[in-house]
């Protein structure tokens, strides 16, 4: 019999290959280019709309190379290090990882939906309304490119280890900067209608990526910024974070 996922009252027992997860209590929020996001917003972050999400768990950190190797037996990353995010993994690659991880653990890990990702990045029900995940000062929470600094002062040459910056209100790390993160949804236009547990656009394309990266400017690390890549797309600044339902 497969073990069930723990409720918020139960102690979570992890298999050695599993990442640490944070419980996110469900709630309702305004998704998209809300006022604190400033003048950097793009049309595809609009319209702002009301979204309700149910309870879920999300990774405290992005999946590391050590965790990937423990499940897959290989390391596709360009910049190697046990505590560095795994990168150079496509959306399709992640689906294989999820199948193997779920076989090992008996659980139902998955990618977060775009709505879950943004709700968690904003701090969930503990949100303080920050522009970035955990702060209005991007330096506190994100690895990114400072376009106002000389490249030799500020430009990273590889992905940094996870958890080196401050966490957000839910004690989640690196949701702004470090590596872009895959979501489960197709990328498409937002609806202005209120939604509950949206799964993304039926008519969309590719898959959503979120959070910006160490190789991008701060405006892409905002909690509302969204972009996409193709199912087989991969790069050395694109990784992922796990989610699972609370039941």
Q: Is residue 116 part of a domain?
A: yes
Q: Is residue 117 part of a domain?
A: yes
d(CA 82, CA 66): 5
With beta carbons less than 8 A apart as the criterion, state whether 43 and 227 touch: no
- What is the percentage of the chain residues whose pLDDT exceeds 90? 84
Q: Is residue 41 part of a domain?
A: yes
Residue 73 C-beta-side C-alpha neighbours within 13 Å = 2
Could you read off the pLDDT of 233-246 as tens digits, one per residue? Answer: 999 999 999 999 96
Instruction: Indicate the number of domains in the chain.
Output: 1
Rg (CA), the chain: 17
Could you read off the pLDDT of 99-109 as tens digits, one per residue? Answer: 999 999 999 99
With beta carbons less than 8 A apart as the criterion, state whether 242 and 109 touch: yes
Which domain range does residue 111 map to? 21-245
> How many other C-beta atoms are found inside a 10 Å radius of the C-beta of residue 158?
15
With beta carbons less than 8 A apart as the criterion, state whether 111 and 92 touch: no
Structure tokens at 142: 């994100």
Q: Is residue 160 part of a domain?
A: yes
pLDDT at 244: 96
CATH number of the domain at 204, please. 3.90.1580.10
Q: Is residue 6 part of a domain?
A: no
With beta carbons less than 8 A apart as the criterion, state whether 208 and 200 touch: yes
Q: Is residue 2 part of a domain?
A: no
Measure CA 236 to chain center.
16
């Amino acid at each position: 019999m497969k073990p069930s996922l723990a409720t918020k009252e139960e102690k979570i027992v992890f298999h050695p290959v599993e990442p640490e997860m944070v419980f996110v209590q469900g709630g309702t929020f305004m998704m998209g280019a809300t006022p604190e996001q400033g003048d950097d917003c793009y049309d595809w972050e609009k319209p702002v709309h009301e979204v309700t999400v149910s309870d879920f768990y999300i990774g405290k950190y992005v999946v590391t190379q050590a965790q990937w190797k423990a499940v897959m037996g290989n390391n596709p990353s360009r910049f190697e290090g046990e505590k560095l995010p795994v990168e150079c993994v496509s959306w399709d690659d992640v689906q294989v990882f999820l199948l193997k991880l779920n076989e090992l653990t008996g659980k139902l890990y998955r990618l977060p939906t775009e709505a879950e990702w943004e709700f968690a990045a904003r701090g969930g029900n503990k949100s303080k309304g920050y522009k970035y995940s955990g702060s209005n000062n991007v330096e506190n929470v994100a690895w990114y490119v400072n376009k106002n600094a000389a490249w030799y002062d500020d430009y990273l040459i590889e992905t940094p280890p996870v958890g080196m910056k401050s966490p957000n209100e839910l004690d989640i790390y690196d949701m702004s900067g470090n590596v872009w993160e895959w979501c489960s949804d197709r990328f498409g236009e937002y609806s202005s209608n209120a939604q509950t547990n949206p799964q993304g656009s039926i008519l969309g394309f590719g898959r959503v990526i979120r959070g910006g990266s160490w190789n991008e400017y701060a405006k892409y690390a905002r909690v509302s910024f969204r972009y996409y890549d193709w199912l087989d797309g991969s790069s050395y600044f694109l990784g992922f974070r796990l989610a699972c339902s609370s039941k």
